[in-house]
Chain A
Amino acid sequence: MRREEAISNKMDWVTVLIYMVMVLLGWFNIFAAVYDETANQSIFDLSLNSGRQLMFIAASAIIIVAILIVDMRFYEAAAFLIYGIVVFLLVLVPLIGKEVGGNKAWLGIGSFGVQPSEFAKFATALVVAKIIGTVGFRMDRLRNQVILFGIILVPIALTLLQKDFGTALVFTAFLLVFFREGMSPFLLIIGMAMAVIAILTLIVDNQWYLHGGIVVLALVIVFFGKRTVKRILTIGVGAIIIIGTIESFDYVINNVLPVRHKKRLEALVNPDFDPMGINWNVTQSKIAIGSGGFSGKGFLKGTQTKFDFVPEQSTDFIFCTIGEEHGWLGSLVVVGLFITLLLRIVFLAERQKNRFARVYGYSVASIFFFHFAVNIGMTVGLFPVIGIPLPFFSYGGSALWSFTILLFILLKLDAHRSQMLGRL
C-alpha cells in the first residue's frame, strides 16, 4: 500500500495530463472523421471506429495500471526477455499473420488482431537502454556500436519482411538516442549527406551530370588547396565513394524499391508530379487542411473528410480532420501539445539518476518525435507518404497501446528515480 501512495504522489502529472488530453482529442477526431450527419450516429457506437477506439482507450487504462503495479526493476531485468518474445512474434507474422491493407503485419486470434511490430518499439527501447545502461559501457567502442545496430536491425528486417516500410523506418529513430549517448555526430552527418545525394539522384534524371559535377568539384578542391599526394588521394577516394553511392541509390530506386514507394519519393521532390495519381492523397489532404482556414469549420462540420477522399482518414491521415474542422488554431494546439510532450519527456529523461532510465526516456522522445514529424510532414506535403500513425490521435488499438506502454514505463521509472540513486 505504501508504494501505491508513493506512485500517485511522485507521478509526473503534467505528462499524464497531456496524455489524457491527446487521447481524448484523438477520440473526438476519429468520430469526426467517420461522422455522417444523415445517419444519426453516436460516438459510442461500436460499429464505428470511434466506439472501438473508446474500447481501446479503456484497455489502455488497464495496461497503465498494470505497468504501475509491476516492480520498476522488472523493466530493466526483463528487457531481453520481452525483446525475445516480440522478435519471436515478428517471425511468426509472415508465417501465420493476416493481411490488412496490403501489409501483412497482423497476428490474429479470432476477430481480434494485434500488430507485433508496434510492440517491438518499446521492447527495442528497453534493450537499447539496458545495453547502454550497463556499467562501463562506452559508446565510442566499435563493438558496442555493432551490437546496438544489430539490436535495431532485427526489427527493421522483420518489419520489412511484412512490407511495412513505415514502421521499419521508425527504428532509425534510435540513431538519435545513440547520438545523445555519445555516438559521433559523423554518422548522422553522413546520413544527412546520403539523403541529400539521394534527393539529387531523384531530381537529376541523368546521373552522369551528377558524376561530372562531382569530378569537377573534386578537381576544383584539389586545385585550390595544397597538392600533396595524400590529400589528392583522399579527395579522389571520396569522389569515387560518392559516385558509387549515387549509382547504388539509382539501382535501389529503380530495381529494389517497390514502384509505389519510388513514385512517392518522386512525388515529394517534385510537387507537380502526377497530382491526380500518386499525389492524390496529399492533394486531398492539403485541400482538407487548407480549407480549414484560421479557426476551422467546427466540430463535425468538416465536409472534405466525409467522402473517403483522403484514404486512411481516421488512421494515418487523422491530422486532416483536425486541420479542416479546427483550422490553424487547432493545428497550433495539437502541434503545441506534441512539442510540450516531447520537451517534457526530454526534461524527465535528463532528471533520471541512472543511465538506463535516461536512455529509455530519450528512446521514447525519439520514437514519438519520429512519428510526429513524419506523420504531420506527410499530411502537409513536406514528407513522402509513409504510413505511420500519429501517436494518441490515430485510430487503432495496437498503436495506442504501444505508445501508452512506451510513455508509462518512463513515468513509472521516473516516479522511482530517487530509489535508483544508489545504482548510478
Chain B
Amino acid sequence: MNEGRKEIFQVVFVLTGIVFLVKLFFIQLLDDRYVQLADSNSIMKEIEYPSRGLIFDRNSKLLVYNSPEYDLHIVTKEVVNFDSARFCEVFDITQQELKQRFVELKKLKEYSPYRPTVFIKQLSNYDFAKIQERLDEFTGFYIQPRTTRAYTTDALANVLGYVSEISKNQLDRDSLKLYRQGDYIGQSGIEARYEAVLRGQRGVRYKLRNVKGIEKGSFKDGDYDTLSVPGKNLMTTIDLDLQQYGEYLMAGKVGSVVALEPATGEILSIVSGPSYDPSMLTGRKFSSNFMLISSDTTKPLFTRPLMAMYPPGSIFKIVQSLIGLEEGVLSYDTRFPCDRSLVNCHGHPNPTNLHGAIQYSCNPYFHQAFRRIINQSKSPNTFTDSRIGLDNWREYVKRFGLGAPLGVDLPSEKGGQMPTSNLYNRIYGEGRWKYSTIYSLSIGQGEMLVTPLQMANMAAIMANKGYYYTPHLVKVIEGSDIDSRYRTRNETGIDSAYFSFVQDAMSDAIYGTAQRAIIPGIELCGKTGTAQNPHGHDHSVFMAFAPKDNPKIAIAVYVENAGWGGRSAASIASLMIERYLNGEIKRKHLEAYVLKGDFLDPVVRATPTPTVQQIVPVDME
C-alpha cells in the first residue's frame, strides 16, 4: 500500500526548488529592469492634493477659495544636532508641548523614522513666512504645503458649510477608499452636498530616490503617475450683496430670511440668524472655535431657514382661499359674518367677501370657509365626511410644496408637517374626529408646521400664479448640468385666474396690516402672519413678492419673539425687496428702525408671558 508516494514527495520538493531557482534566475539575471530600478534605488510615493473647487455668487463674485497652509513633517533619522530651545522659540511652542509631540509621533501607526511624518499641522501663511528662513537650521524637518478654505465674506456660513478633517466614522463608511486619514471633507452645507464635485481627484507621483534620499527622476517615466484633477467650481444662486444686507438687518435677531427668484426657483438670499463667521472654522483654531460655536445656546450651527419649523399662521389663509375656489365651494362673492364666537378677530367691515377676508385676515371667515372645504356632504356620516374632506385638502396642500422637504440642494432640510387623516386617527381614534376637532387648521394653526424655505416657495407660487421651481442654491456646476429636478416646473393644478384674484387681495392687504412694507414706486403683494409660540413672544412672519406685474423676488421672513408680522418681518422683507430691485435704500428711517430691533409693545415687553396657548387662536391681525 502507498507505494511510490514517498517518491512523489521527493519529486514535488525538488521541483518546487527548481521552479524557485528558475524564477530567481529570471528576475536576478535575465531581467535588468530591477537592477536599473535599484540603481536609482527606491520608489517614493508622493501624493498631490487637488485644489478644491471655488464657490461664486450669481454675479461671479468669489465667495470661497483656497488658501495655502503648511504641515511640518519630520524624518527622525535625519534629525541631527536638534536644538530644542531654538525650535520652541521659532515655532512658538513650549518645551512641554514639544515633548508631547514626540511622544504622540512615536505612537502613530504609520510612523517610521525613515519617512516623513506630520509633526505640526496647519501652519498658516503667516507662521510659514516667519519660520521659512529658519527652517534650514533644523535638519530632518520639511514643509508640505496644503490648502485650506478661505472666505471673502463673513456671511453665508450656514449655507456654505465647513470643511474639516475626515472623521474615523466617515473613513469607515468610505467603502470606495477615496479618502485617507487627514484628508479634508465637506461636513455641512454646500461643502457637504457638493463634496463629490468640489473635492477633485488626488494625484500620485512615484519618484526614484537614491540612498541619500536625493531625487533621481520619475519611476518608469511616470507611467503609473496620475495627475491630480482640481475640483469643479460652483456658481451659486446667491446674490452676495443682498445676502450681506440681509445678515446686516438680521444682526442680533433670531430668525430667517429666504428670498427666491420666482421664475427659476433660485435662492437669492438665505439668512439664518444668529450665524457665525465661516473663517472661524478653518485652520489650526478649528477645534477650539468649533467647541465655542457648537456650545453656543443660540445654536449658530442650526440652519433655521431649512430646519426651523413654525405654524404658518395667517399666511395660510391664502392657501385655504385658493383650495376653496378650485373646489368650487367658495366664490369671489362668498360672504360670512365675522362671528367672534367661533374665533377671535379684530375690527374690520362686516360681513366681508373673500377679497376682504384676505385683506383683513378675518379669522371667523376662514373658520367657516374651511368647514365648506372639509365637509362637502360626500358621506352622510359627519366623521367619514371630515376624513374624506381632509384627505382631499391634503392632496392640494402637497402640491404647494408643503408637508415634505422641497428637495433643496442642502443637507438636512426639514419637511414641516401637514396633518393627514392618519395623524388624527392616531390621536383621536378612527371615526372619532370631525371638523370641530381640526378647525384650527383653517387659520394656519394646530397640527401644522412649515419651514421658512417653504413659505418663501409659497410666495414664489403666488408670484408665478400657480407653479414653482424647486428652490436651489447652485446655478452652474463647471462642466456639467445641475440636477434636472431643479429645471422641472411643479404645478399646483389650481386655475391661474384664482391666483390673480388672490394677488389683488394681497396687494390691498399691505395697506391694511403692513403699512411699513409699502415701497414708493413698487407694487408689492404680501401677507403678514404671526406664528404662535407657546414658549414666549409670538414670532413675526411676512411673505411677499414684487413687483406685482413681473415678479423678480419672492421672500419670506421669520423673526422669532418679535410680535406680530406687520412690524419687524414686514419691514425686513420690504427693505430686502427695495435693496434688490432698486439697489439702494431710500427709507433710512425704516432701516434704522429694523437695526434698533425693538419691535415689541412696551406693555408686552413688560410681561413676558410663557403661557401655553394651544389651539385657541388669538390672531392679532
Contacts and interface: CB of A to CB of B under 8 A. Distances in A.
B292 interface: no
B43 A309 contact: yes
Interface stretch (B26-34, B145-153, B299-307): B26-34
B85 interface: no
Contact of A380 (B5, B10, B20, B211): B20
B1 A335 contact: no
Given A289-B27, A304-B42, A338 B35 contact: no
Interface of B: 1-2, 5-6, 9-10, 12-14, 16-17, 19-21, 23-25, 27-29, 31, 33-35, 37-39, 41-43, 45, 77, 112, 114-115, 204, 206, 211, 224
A328 B24 contact: yes
Contact of B29 (A179, A294, A338): A294
Interface string A295-336: 000000001101111000000000000011001100110011
A180 B6 contact: yes
23 contacts: A180-B2, A180-B5, A181-B2, A275-B224, A286-B27, A287-B43, A289-B28, A290-B27, A290-B31, A290-B38, A291-B34, A303-B38, A303-B41, A303-B211, A304-B38, A308-B112, A323-B28, A331-B24, A338-B17, A339-B16, A372-B16, A373-B16, A377-B20
A-B pairs, 4 with minimum CB distance:
A290-B34, A291-B38, A339-B17, A290-B27
**Interface of B: prevailing SS:** helix
Interface bin, chain A: 35 or more
Contacts of A342: 13
B456 to A, nearest CB: 46
A288 interface: yes
A288 B27 contact: no
**Interface of A: prevailing SS:** helix
Contacts of A166: none
A97 B42 CA distance: 37
Contacts of B17: 335-336, 338-339
Nearest to B14: A339
Contacts of B24: 289, 323, 328, 331, 335, 380
A179 B23 CA distance: 28
B106 to A, nearest CB: 14
Nearest to B7: A346
Interface in A330-381: 331-332, 335-336, 338-339, 342-343, 346, 350, 362, 365, 369, 372-373, 376-377, 380-381
A181 B23 CA distance: 32
Contacts of B2: 180-182
A308 B114 contact: yes
A291 B29 CA distance: 9
B5 A382 contact: no
A279 B33 CA distance: 17
B114 A331 contact: no
Given A289-B34, A290-B38, A350-B6, 9 more contacts: A36-B77, A180-B5, A182-B1, A307-B114, A328-B29, A331-B28, A335-B21, A346-B9, A380-B20
Contacts of B77: 36
Nearest to A296: B28
Most buried by A among B9, B10, B17, B21: B9
B29 A293 contact: yes
A175 B23 CA distance: 27
Given A180-B2, A290-B33, A304 B10 contact: no
Nearest to B175: A259
A284 interface: yes
Nearest to A294: B29
A17 to B, nearest CB: 19
A160 to B, nearest CB: 22
A292 interface: yes
Contacts of B9: 176, 180, 346, 362, 365
B16 A369 contact: yes
B74 to A, nearest CB: 15
A328 B28 contact: yes
Contacts of A20: none
Most buried by B among A287, A323, A346, A365: A287
Contacts of B31: 290
Contacts of A59: none
B322 to A, nearest CB: 54
Contacts of A336: 17
A276 interface: yes
Contacts of B21: 328, 331-332, 335
Contacts of B13: 339, 342-343, 346, 369
Contacts of B112: 308
Nearest to A309: B42
A104 B2 CA distance: 40
A370 to B, nearest CB: 11
A335 B354 CA distance: 100
A307 B28 CA distance: 21
A293 B21 CA distance: 13
Contacts of B37: 287, 290-291
Contacts of B12: 369
